[in-house]
Chain A
Amino acid sequence: MNVDKNPVIFIILAAITILVGTLITTFIPLFAGITAVSTENIRPYTALELEGRDIYIREGCNNCHTQTVRPLPFETARYGSYSELEDSAIDRPHLWGSKRTGPDLARVGTKYPAQWHYMHMKSPQSMYKRSNMPPYPWLGDRKLDTRYTAKKMKVLDYPFPGKDAKDLDGKTEMDALVSYLMRLGKEVKGTP
């Protein structure tokens, strides 16, 4: 049986070789639920927070910001309690990030008042002269597009009560983004 003489057998063998590592490190743990945690004490995203999260994704904030406080002394000293499975258990997609051009945001909701974010997003340079963060003044001028909000909440299986729907009226994209940022780090198990 000469593998290098028969491309079809070769492809099958290559696929099996590839699937071994795939299943053991990724899909078997996933289906065996080893990363599963009880989500009943995690507050689902409100519609406003969810729309803000989508703006965070649209603007590619995860290209410069992470949302993972590592269990290392200098990390918890700088950012707060280290990230646990509960912090991102209901996040689809996850936004852990891989590069800290800017600081980690996993606990930013507990660090600044909302007003700080409104000013900072509008013009980071006005608050920190040498900041290299792009300014996002136009977020405040755009009315939030809520055409798909109900469908989004259904797909993500988050409750979408009437109160939340009314809360969206007249909101700008900046309001949504700031409401999302203010949530980060607040739902952590055990923090007051």
Chain B
Amino acid sequence: MPVDTTYDYRAVKGFALSSLFWAVVGLLVGILISLQLVYPQLNFGPWLSYGRLRPIHTNALIYGFTVPAAFSIFFFLVQRLGRTTLAFPGTARVLLWVFNAAIALAALSLFAGMSQSKEYSELEWPFDIGVVVLWVVFAIIIIGTIVRRKEEQMYVSLWYILATIVGVAIVYIGNNLAVPVSLFKSYSVYAGANDANVQWWFGHNAVAFVFTTIPLAVFYYILPKSTNAPLYSHRLSIIGFWSLIFAYLWTGAHHLIYTPLPDWIQTVAIAFSIFLIAPSWASVINGYGTMKGEWGQMRSNYLVKFIILGITFYGLQTLQGPSQAIRAFSALIHYTDWVPGHVHMGTMGWVTMTLSAGFYYIFPKIYNTELYSIKLANLHFWLVLVGQLIYSVTMWITGIAQGAMWQATNADGSLKYSNFFETLTPNFPFWNMRTLGGIIFLSGFIVFVYNIIQTVRKAPAAARA
């Protein structure tokens, strides 16, 4: 007799809708900065110049979209997988309002130029303390719910949720240790090469515990549930999980190849980056394996396209990453547009598609209704896919071109393109193509948001509380 529990979805709904709002904000800023790279006259005064907008783009999409989307889907997941109701539901709703207020204030501080300059952790020290406190509250709600679960054995999604909690806490605190000078300014406790090493230990593990374990938790739940096919191998996911969260922490220094950081730290990072292919592909194999005999659902079930393309992009991402970490290739592509091309295949391809699948799956359930339009969902899929591919492919092309131009020498050994501008201006047409890709992606995302809002609007009044 299934346990009759009334799940508490108010925080789930709140975080889902607010994450969609910040996603659109982050994407709009992304398109503006993409245009600014070719048309500098679009830098309007201090507050809207590229230098201040780029951190807003990254922080809005990491802490404004991905993290709240994770809060939303995780609050849903821990209840369903634990067959219990959410612990501290009141606190969860307070967390919703405080978190969104903090995001708005954080964005304001970045507009004003408050920055610690360290990528993906630019927020000044008062916000760092705020984020840590809010993260602890989130952890208490999740762990509180898991501890009182009725289902004794924890499914793999719950492991990835717990890893997200532990991982983000460790790397965020580690990288944001700073000595305040005023309310608006602080200096890192680390200096020079150590500061760089700690920053990219954080940088790549923000990727690990925000852009990998969060979508993996969603993927491992939504794929079996939406296809009604059992996961290919739960034991394979055990091996994949533990080796992933072990190996990821070694790889930060692949962002610092050929820098003054000691060589052995770089080499160890390269070695573990290559090793990471195995645990990453454990999840990819699990994805494809689960679809054995079910591939017809790629046509019949609109949701499966998102999940399978998501895990495919994850597979490509985790092959491309290790290959560009090797010194020979890093010498060519480091500091070029190849890297944003790689980043956006992961964020636009893997993370956004998987989170979208998560929302498509949970919204009809939390609002007790049907999805507004499957045709719109398919339109969303194709726009997002095409937009993302245009973005990444153009960036790879122009990244390699620029990297090669930086290296090109004449017969006598002198630099062929000694003037930096000769290597900059050829990027402009490709950057315009990237803006086009971004606009297509955004239009797809807006179709998604419209579809979700119409789904909510047609829900029975009771469910809309």
A residues in contact (CB < 8 Å) with B: 2, 4-5, 7-8, 10-11, 14-15, 17-22, 24-27, 29-30, 34-35, 54, 57-64, 66, 68, 70-75, 77-78, 83-85, 87-104, 124-125, 128, 130-136, 138, 148, 151-152, 155-156
Contact = CB atoms under 8 A, between A and B. Distances in A.
Contact of A94 (B170, B181, B193): B193
Interface in B78-126: 113-119
23 contacts: A7-B158, A10-B162, A11-B166, A19-B249, A22-B174, A25-B268, A29-B194, A35-B193, A35-B262, A54-B185, A59-B46, A59-B49, A70-B334, A72-B331, A83-B260, A92-B190, A93-B195, A96-B256, A101-B424, A135-B40, A136-B49, A148-B181, A148-B185
A15 B246 CA distance: 10
Most buried by A among B45, B153, B192: B192
B260 A10 contact: no
Contact of A91 (B154, B191, B409): B191
Contacts of B215: none
Nearest to B335: A100
A124 B40 contact: yes
B417 to A, nearest CB: 9
Contacts of B320: none
A134 B259 contact: no
Interface string B35-51: 01111100101100111
B272 interface: yes
Contact of A60 (B54, B188, B415): B54
Nearest to B246: A17
B191 A15 contact: no
B170 A85 contact: no
Shortest 4 CB-CB distances between A and B: which pairs?
A60-B51, A21-B249, A134-B43, A88-B192
B167 to A, nearest CB: 6
Interface SS of chain B: helix
B181 A91 contact: no
B117 A78 contact: no
Interface string B243-267: 0011111101101101111100100
B143 A132 contact: no
A11 to B, nearest CB: 6
Interface in B229-287: 238, 242, 245-250, 252-253, 255-256, 258-262, 265, 268-269, 272
A94 B196 contact: yes
Contacts of B260: 68, 83-85, 87-88
B196 A96 contact: yes
Contacts of A91: 191-192, 195
B187 A94 contact: no
B52 A93 contact: no
B117 A132 contact: no
A135 B43 contact: yes
B198 A26 contact: yes
Contacts of A75: 406
B415 A74 contact: yes
B335 A60 contact: no
B67 to A, nearest CB: 18
Contact of A134 (B51, B146, B187): B51
Contact of A7 (B49, B146, B171, B335): B146
Interface of B: 36-40, 43, 45-46, 49-52, 54-55, 113-119, 143, 146-147, 152-154, 158-159, 162-163, 165-167, 170-171, 174, 179, 181-182, 185, 187-199, 201, 238, 242, 245-250, 252-253, 255-256, 258-262, 265, 268-269, 272, 331, 334-336, 339-340, 406-409, 414-415, 418, 420-421, 424-425, 428
B265 A29 contact: yes
B209 to A, nearest CB: 9
Contacts of A94: 188, 190-193, 195-196, 199
Contacts of B245: 14, 17-18
Given A22-B170, A68-B259, A98-B119, A128 B247 contact: no
A21 B265 contact: no
A90 B192 contact: yes
Contacts of B406: 74-75, 78
Nearest to B114: A58
Contacts of B256: 96
Nearest to A156: B187
B188 A10 contact: no
Contact of B37 (A128, A132, A156): A132
B51 A74 contact: no
Contacts of A134: 36, 40, 43, 49-51
A18 B179 contact: no
Contacts of A54: 185
Contacts of B116: 57, 93
A85 B55 contact: no
B201 A18 contact: no
A48 to B, nearest CB: 17
Given A26-B201, A34-B262, A155-B179, 12 more contacts: A5-B154, A18-B249, A19-B170, A20-B249, A21-B246, A26-B198, A30-B190, A63-B55, A77-B409, A78-B418, A92-B190, A99-B335
